[in-house]
Structure 1
């Protein structure tokens, strides 16, 4: 049995284990094509998409020592079917996370765009290093997210429990995975992408990335600008902001989206009976959370119980995807007006119940904690986060504890992420919604300024996190035109094109069904209500 480290021991281990390898932009030709590895494509056995092929690719663990230890990446592809003369090469795909699987993306995206465009590309999905089907699949604590977890909110006696939980998670990761954790940054994943390119035999790649995938894509473009043909970044992480400061932006934007949900619900009082103004609805939300502190609800068929932490996790995804709002309002209405907890257990199992292990969380931490500086002092966090919570109480402490392992992470990063300049890149197409809570609008503006040749498409009033493929023709047609022949929006101002938002969902009481499926991935990545990671 592994002995957990104390808080002090974890802090000491930071010094003993050392810091992450410094990040530096590499020469554009530093990947040796002869070392690319080979891809043996075989059928994925996918009955829905029989043409889908799978392969494993061996890549260096440490690119500073490319002849050393190797790890493997899981890849899939939908090959181009257009005549050879019309084919446009591979397009690599990443949905964000950090650490989310991209293997669902080739089949999904090709089904969302015209066949005459889809057929011209080789669509490449992959699992980032250390995640999902890649080898190894890093697991630090398979039960980290099991309910009932300590209350997120300070003042309920759970501060020490969360500090111990976060410190132990960092220690457990270091105890089992010290050999790979320093090599799971965005730069490492970008270099993996170049190995994929070389193994495909392509001189250049195309790329679509959403959320953290925009950081991955821009990093690849910075390291290997001459190897980019076309690039699309959707819902953008600012290129210079620290991950700690980015979380604070998220907290404030999630507060705005929570109020937008409350306003929408208040307009539908005849359906939900939660009050006719936003403040009344918000009070009802906190009334349910308070009740769950006293009497948690069974999470069945998921294990454990739904307390205040699980309740918050069921709701924050509404800031990513407003198609969840009818079910969220039903949870509150069912609990308060019908004394029915079934909508809550169904929503929890659909949106927030843990999977078989800690999923992409090790990659999330290893990426963020090691590539920009994080405060290491709890007293600083406590005071600083209290200021944020004063204006954004809906998400601040939830987000703080989700990221608290970075306080104790054994590989210190920073002080800054890789600088993005856009030098040598072709025009990059950027998509950003003004009301995006997960990757706030400022990130899209900052990336557009960092990439002088880029074109920025703004969905004014839009709130989807990852705006493409929701049926908005203004957005989707712009993406298709760029993929078809490189056509870019013609606007000459800072914003090249503006698109309108989608209509709010119709208010409907979502009647409980007989059964609910328990899984951390109960919502398929292709489900209209899906969200991808925290970035």
Structure 2
């Protein structure tokens, strides 16, 4: 561990420089404090698909404790309301999660998923969170961090030292260029940006839809600015009190359940995929392919590098987000084992898991999660604790561990006070959507948020299909969302669950083998929440 320790020492030294600003201090700022408000100058986005879209940049303070200091810019777009002024219901801000995913695709897409008479009454507002995508600056720590072939995730393969060094170096690279920005990328900072957007729009109240991490963003905004919330919808919910480290452990266990469900589905389709008639055999076939890639990685082109075991796992874990991927996933295994054909693997990797031009939203992901909690810093603790989790959830545990390992070395020490206590005081009724088998934001989070928000209504999808369960043409879910947006109507059920909905039917088992011309480079290592909403296959 000598080389890793050297990097850790450098990171720790940088962390001392950052210790003057705490997330808790940011959260404690007066909600009405003067923030040096920027203005919005809307112009055409030049979007040929949706020419009505307008774009703007909004200048906001880097540090809301010093509103007249350094400024940064937030990229926004909007699809303006078209209803008569007397029927308009104000802006609805949209966030898909991440942390850090772009919301610029959402106004056109989500407004198109609700009845036209309802969509016409809102100004649909998308935005890129601070430091990400088209906002300025765009934080990049290591543009090639996700290029394949990366070290094997499995600690039994002797790659832990390589991953420790890689993770520590990433944290150091972030701090080397962005020490002035990193402490100001928390959920609280992003919530304050939302209120800057509200004021720039010239409105007293906003509506909000958020999915995944967007539920943390929305509930945080509601805690800071309850009098400025008109309606709020939270879809696929992060629990309001759980630490990010513990949340990841819940994810590991739920991803195992979804992988088990995929294996059982595949086994029922042995006549299509020829991978065995029971789930255990299918899982052994999955392991067989991963073992083969350890010796003979596959060319990743047009993505850089090779597809080894780490890239293979990244390709498959997205099935926990979106079960429409299952036919392609089963095809990957079948083609490799029964036809010695690696083309479906190459296509799936490029569609689901290949890196983009840089490290995407990974800096924002780390800046939020590593900063908001006091993560364990001892590798021996991680090694022992994660081995216990891996014993019951081997599909995803070590993949998830190394994805989050930069928090072991992050230059800014977080603490639990970095996440606000959510009480719902002063909020109108909030509409909550949660699936019982959501792998990315497990069911417990939806229940905990419902209990934290008096007056909220919890709609539960009993089963699993997607992460972020709205907008998949499920009438039970989508009609509930529409009714709330139309006139504030809420489900009338009493008790913990106000309404229960069924999941979508399993996808048909088909062998998917598109032509090579369909290959395209991916947009980031993690399947984005946009993919989850769109049902990308």
User: Same fold by TM (over 0.5)?
Assistant: yes
| 1:179-190 to 2 correspondences below 5 Å | 179-190=180-191
Q: Deviations over 1:377-404 (max 9, x none)?
A: 1111111000000100000000000000
The superposition leaves residues 191-248 of structure 1 with CA deviations (integer Å, 9 ceiling, x where unpaired) of 0000000000010000000000000000000000000000000000000000000000
Partner of 1:23: 24
Q: CA deviation at 1:356?
A: 0.1
Q: How many residues align?
A: 529
Report the TM-score, using the length of structure 1 for normalisation: 0.96
Q: Distance in 2 between matches of 1:453 and 1:16?
A: 43
What is the SS of the residue equivalent to 2:517?
coil
Give the aligned partner of residue 141 of structure 1: 142
Whether the aligned pair in 2 keeps the contact of 1:478 and 1:488 (CA below 8 Å) is: yes
Q: Which runs of 4+ in 1 moved over 3 A?
A: 24-29, 522-532
SS state of the match for residue 6, structure 1? Answer: helix
Map of 1:279 onto structure 2: 280
Q: Quote the residue 1:312 is aligned against.
A: 313
Contact 1:78/1:123 (<8 A) preserved? yes
TM-score normalised to the size of structure 2?
Answer: 0.96
1:431 and 1:166 map into 2 onto residues whose CA distance is 34
Alpha-carbon distance in 2 for matches of 1:76, 1:22: 28
CA contact (8 A) 2:98 2:528 kept: no
Q: Which runs of 5+ in 2 are unaligned?
A: none
Structure 2 partner of 1:293: 294
In structure 1, C-alpha distance between the alignment counterparts of 2:79 and 2:460, rounded to whole Å: 30
Q: CA 1:276/1:425 → structure 2, altered by over 3 Å: closer, same or farther?
A: same
Cα distance in 1 for partners of 2:188, 2:465 equals: 29
Corresponding residue SS for 1:235: strand
Q: 1:455 aligns with which of 453, 457, 466?
A: 457
Distance 1:20 1:326 in 2: 48
2:159 & 2:137 partners in 1: Cα distance?
A: 34
Rounded Cα–Cα distance in structure 1 between residues aligned with 2:22 and 2:259: 39
Q: Which residue of 1 aligns with 2:102?
A: 101
What CA distance in whole angstroms lies between the structure 1 residues aligned with 2:225 and 2:17? 34
Q: Is the 8 A contact 1:320 1:531 kept in 2?
A: no
The separation in 2 between residues aligned to 1:38 and 1:335, in whole angstroms, is: 55
Report the alpha carbon displacement of residue 7 of structure 1 after superposing the two structures with TM. Answer: 2.7
Asked if the contact 2:98/2:529 (under 8 Å) is kept, the reply is no
The match for 2:499 is 497
- Is 1:439 the counterpart of 2:431? The answer is no
2:384 maps to which residue?
383
Q: Which residue of 2 aligns with 1:267?
A: 268
Cα distance in 1 between the residues matched to 2:410 and 2:61: 23
Q: Which residue of 1 aligns with 2:112?
A: 111
Residues 1:182 and 1:206: Cα distance change in structure 2 (over 3 Å) = same
457-466 or 113-122, which moves further after superposition? 457-466
Q: CA deviation at 1:27?
A: 6.8
Cα distance in 2 for residues equivalent to 1:205 and 1:413: 30
Q: Residue in 2 aligned with 1:486? A: 488
Larger helix fraction of residues: 2
Q: Which residue of 1 aligns with 2:520?
A: 518
Alignment of 1:188-337 (within 5 A): 188-337=189-338
TM-superposed deviation, 1:531: 7.5
Cα RMSD for the two superposed structures: 1.8
Whether the 8 Å contact between 2:100 and 2:361 is mirrored in structure 1 is yes
Structure 1 unpaired stretches of 5+: none
1:61 & 1:475 partners in 2: Cα distance? 38
Structure 1 distance, partners of 2:405, 2:394, is 17
